[in-house]
Structure 1
């Protein structure tokens, strides 16, 4: 973690690392990230989030703010430390964050804005991204929508204090802001699976939508969709990015809550090493597409052993596979109307049959009736997605 502490030095480091293009360098040097970060942030360590307070640890807080790292700014389940006057000691579940500066820079570069363009941002968060857009394009050209009223109010105040005044609306980002449409560019700052068609409708033909996209098994990738004259949006996977989920789509975190009636489960054996699926990002991405509404977790045992657990909360289906080093077959169990591990095996086979494609060979098309994933050929019929 670097001890440098100014927006100019952050911009310089991002540029030297190849993450910040010349068109955004002056903007990043101008907009101070520090003005948009709360006095208490949360850092992940040993499976939990621990607070760092500006008042009690100013040097650490300041260094973290200007470091190229994501900062959790809001959590759902603070666990107070009774020996420390009630100060929150740990948390398990983040609910809002400030993205890594390199990710912010990459997404803005992919957005490819130009003078005079209007931008809709979905997910205001801290307000930092909206400030960067306003500094580049002008306040009147930026509209940002935030669902959480507390975050929206705080972002408005911070933007005002920093000298920026984009329009910040409290509401469902998926609904956009039709009153100010059409937009030349749309950018989402949280992960989506179902791309709201309303965002496509509010984008001008030829306009671009940049958004994080993922599944229950893989979060996630970055999509760049271009809106056509026919009202559809289509474009490729252009990279990786892991974001917090759209709150309406957030997968069930507690996979094990679905694991019930273990005595009634069907014993299985498989020749598919679970590492071949979940240890390969391209295979995991494909499995996430072909095995919808499924989450997984891993329980670790001694001597390198582990168990992969899969669950679909809606149907109550679950499956598990036990990995043992050196084995060629792996024991497992499946329960419920869906045979989730069998679905994973089928998905892995389809991925291999297609030549084990990298995830950047995929793309997404969004239409008024739904969305589908395609491989290599933009807009071609592909896998319909729920």
Structure 2
């Protein structure tokens, strides 16, 4: 029978192995952050998670314990909270956590506000590196912040854990040198800009990529997107969030030829553009043996839906011709040379926010909260 000491030794080895894999992949380059990943016990923050079927995988169940122990030390995101059947909180993939922590460009004494406390694991990494007094983390639900606070305390960390709407930040301890958002934003809350130090910046997922956004005035900011994708759950503002998106009824009309091939919807660079230009898309896919899309259904909360079949024809229904909109954005994508996220930037003003391609006065898309 294993003891707590045995578990501590085993998990220390597993953490070192995970950290080494992040180093080898190029996701973890700073020795200080590597030390945090090696020292902070992720398994203490994720005592259970839900698999793709909704089954609870937990340390306490002998049937799932080994699966749990392996998973919490792998480079994978883990769903840790469900609301009305939908995943509403998770422990992020360690590689994207490492990428974001390094992108913060912190030094000793840097003050950080984190939006999206989740399990508390990321706050623990921050507190390990910067000290409890320099870290504030916030989440919308006491069902999330309560356990996060307890786990942090149990592992010797005591950053300020706040329950509230993250879009308002936490002005009581402002200004912050960095504001780190670990949930997807539709637009940048102006309250966050106001809570930045003069030379501070926000690191946040806008659409499906990370943006580093610097304060340029009292309620203005500007920045650029980083290379690669970043897939996070949306910012939750109330306990009612989290209702699964129901697919509208499929159209039964005859299809038309599509200018947007099925393979293009698996292109992460194109999907980033869609996440900005046509937000709130929900997808279902038909996949071949190589897991390449051969068809798809896509819909939006207003009831617009498009269905792409394997023969390359598409049908649309609802208030908007959704696939026609996606085709137009695909034309833009190809005409621009299939740009990745790092060719885009964002401008934040009091009356409008805009993502742009290549230059602030270039092709752009307005963001709506």
TM-score range normalised by the length of the shorter chain: 0.7 to 0.9
Question: Which residue of structure 1 lines up, in the alignment, with residue 67 of structure 2?
Answer: 60
Question: Which residue of structure 2 lines up, in the alignment, with residue 319 of structure 1?
Answer: 306
> 2-side partners of 1:279 and 1:235: how far apart?
27
Question: Which residue of structure 2 lines up, in the alignment, with residue 26 of structure 1?
Answer: 35
Listed as ranges, the matches of 1:1-386 within 5 Å are 5-6=11-12, 7-20=15-28, 21-38=30-47, 40-44=48-52, 48-55=53-60, 56=62, 57-76=64-83, 93-214=86-207, 220-229=208-217, 231-238=219-226, 239-248=228-237, 253-256=244-247, 258-259=248-249, 262=251, 267-299=254-286, 306-314=294-302, 316-324=303-311, 330-377=312-359, 382-386=364-368
1:116-149 Cα offsets, whole Å, 9 max, x none, are 2211010111111111111111111111111111
CA deviation after TM superposition for structure 1 residue 375, in Å: 1.1
> 1-side partners of 2:87 and 2:367: how far apart?
28
Question: Which residue of structure 1 lines up, in the alignment, with residue 4 of structure 2?
Answer: none
SS, match of residue 323 in structure 1: coil
SS, match of residue 232 in structure 2: coil
CA deviation after TM superposition for structure 1 residue 283, in Å: 2.2
CA contact (8 A) 1:274 1:308 kept: no
> 2-side partners of 1:154 and 1:252: how far apart?
22
CA contact (8 A) 1:103 1:241 kept: yes
Q: 1:356 to 1:300 in 2, by over 3 A?
A: closer
Higher strand fraction: Structure 1 or Structure 2?
1
TM-score, normalised relative to structure 2: 0.85
List gaps (5 residues or longer) in structure 2.
Answer: 1-8
1:248-292 Cα offsets, whole Å, 9 max, x none, are 597974452x236x45x5x45124143253132222322333334
> 2-side partners of 1:274 and 1:131: how far apart?
44
> 2-side partners of 1:10 and 1:352: how far apart?
38
> 1-side partners of 2:316 and 2:49: how far apart?
41
CA contact (8 A) 1:255 1:295 kept: no
CA contact (8 A) 1:278 1:284 kept: yes
List gaps (5 residues or longer) in structure 1.
Answer: 78-91, 215-219, 325-329
SS, match of residue 369 in structure 1: coil
Q: 1:296 to 1:154 in 2, by over 3 A?
A: same
CA-atom RMSD in angstroms: 2.8
1:35-81 Cα offsets, whole Å, 9 max, x none, are 2112x22233xxx243322121433322222222222222346xxxx
> 1-side partners of 2:107 and 2:288: how far apart?
53
TM-score, normalised relative to structure 1: 0.82
How many residues were matched structurally? 350
> 1-side partners of 2:68 and 2:293: how far apart?
38
CA contact (8 A) 2:145 2:162 kept: yes
CA contact (8 A) 1:52 1:60 kept: yes
1:60-108 Cα offsets, whole Å, 9 max, x none, are 322222222222222346xxxxxxxxxxxxxx63222111222211110
